[in-house]
């Protein structure tokens, strides 16, 4: 009777890492100990030191960025203007302008919408930063609800948004973040520094404070990656002031030496016997 041998077990290949051929997955899989890589293109901030700490190397274009400041309307433009200037310039290069039909071609550019800025926008100052007046649309909302509605509609229209929303609640920011997933324009929410302890669906949150001299001090509260320690000092001289500054004026002023307090005069002893003897 012929012998029947048992079938050999099939060779089992140990599972290995799956090839990431799809470029869309490159930026969506990351280790928590490493800085995340954005699957969508990012907008350079104009500050190399800041880009090195941001996932994707710049401001995200399909997400909300929350900027917290101690006082509204003071530091935002110095931080955001370099990136917004590049975003506007990239659009101008993409839209053809044959002959003198510049007005018709400019209508194809996506605007930069300002929702409830704390002060009236100073157009000459913004133009000195490289942002022409034609780039802006200013929306003054009467109530926080109207400001949120205007910001959401602008995000859905794929325009760049700067919205000052000091009273926005976490669930409202989450709704704006969901809308930003379908936009390829930068979205910045400007809020007071005191809300830094609140939860937020914005994947990128940072605090901006005045630094030494003309620098900006920036701390990353939240990013896709390891926690950020310390502060970044970013040179941010306003565009209109930069030509007027010498090399010495760009440096922070030296700390003045403390003036010593004048020595108190010795008190005279009131008793007559305690006075020094005067020799003739």
> CATH homologous superfamily of domain 36-94+107-238?
P-loop containing nucleotide triphosphate hydrolases (3.40.50.300)
pLDDT, greater one: 210 or 236: 210
pLDDT in the model for residue 261: 61
Work out the average pLDDT over 91-101: 56
Segments of the chain assigned E as strands: 42-43, 59-60, 64-69, 112-115, 136-139, 160-164, 187-192, 204-210, 215-222, 232-235
At 173, the pLDDT band (50, 70, 90 cuts) reads: very high
pLDDT digits (tens, 9 = 90+) for 240-249: 565 555 555 5
Work out the average pLDDT over 78-96: 83
pLDDT in the model for residue 222: 94
Mean of pLDDT over the chain: 78
- Reduced to 3 states (helix: H, G, I; strand: E, B; else coil), residue 190 is strand
pLDDT in the model for residue 39: 56
pLDDT digits (tens, 9 = 90+) for 1-47: 555 555 555 444 445 554 544 445 555 555 555 555 555 678 999 99
Assessment of whether the complete model's pTM goes beyond 0.75: no
pLDDT in the model for residue 3: 54
Domain spans, the chain: 36-94+107-238
The whole-angstrom separation of Cα 251 and Cα 218 is 18
pLDDT digits (tens, 9 = 90+) for 215-249: 999 999 999 888 888 999 999 876 656 555 555 55
Query: Between the CA of residue 45 and those of 89, 124, 144, 256, 272, what are the distances in Å?
Result: 14, 22, 29, 34, 78
pLDDT digits (tens, 9 = 90+) for 251-267: 555 555 565 665 555 55
pLDDT in the model for residue 18: 46
279 pLDDT higher than 80: no
250 pLDDT higher than 90: no
pLDDT in the model for residue 2: 52
At 123, the pLDDT band (50, 70, 90 cuts) reads: confident
pLDDT in the model for residue 154: 94
Q: In what order do the strands lie in the sheet with 187-192?
A: 136-139, 112-115, 160-164, 187-192, 64-69, 204-210, 215-222, 232-235
pLDDT in the model for residue 101: 43
């Amino acid at each position: 009777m012929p012998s029947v041998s048992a079938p050999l077990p099939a060779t089992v290949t140990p599972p290995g890492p799956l090839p990431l051929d799809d470029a869309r997955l490159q930026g969506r899989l990351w280790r928590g100990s490493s800085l995340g890589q954005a699957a969508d293109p990012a907008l350079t901030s104009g500050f190399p030191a800041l880009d090195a700490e941001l996932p994707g190397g710049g401001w995200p274009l399909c997400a909300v960025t929350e900027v917290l400041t101690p006082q509204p309307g003071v530091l935002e433009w110095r931080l955001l203007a370099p990136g917004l200037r590049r975003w506007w310039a990239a659009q101008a290069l993409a839209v053809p302008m044959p002959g003198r039909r510049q007005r018709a071609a400019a209508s194809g550019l996506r605007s930069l919408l300002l929702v409830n800025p704390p002060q009236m926008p100073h157009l000459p100052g913004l133009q000195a930063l490289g942002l022409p007046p034609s780039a802006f649309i200013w929306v003054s909302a009467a109530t926080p609800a109207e400001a949120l509605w205007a910001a959401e509609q602008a995000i859905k229209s794929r325009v760049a948004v700067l919205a000052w929303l000091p009273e926005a609640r976490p669930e409202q920011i989450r709704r704006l973040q969901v809308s930003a997933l379908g936009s390829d324009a930068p979205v910045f929410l400007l809020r007071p520094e005191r809300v830094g302890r609140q939860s937020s669906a914005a994947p990128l949150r940072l605090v901006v404070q005045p630094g030494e001299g003309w620098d900006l001090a920036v701390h990353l509260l939240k990013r896709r990656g390891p926690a950020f320690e310390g502060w970044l000092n970013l040179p941010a001289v306003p565009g209109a002031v930069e030509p007027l500054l010498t090399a010495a004026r760009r440096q922070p002023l030296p700390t003045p030496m403390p003036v010593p307090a004048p020595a108190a005069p010795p008190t005279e002893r009131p008793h007559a016997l305690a006075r020094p003897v005067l020799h003739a």
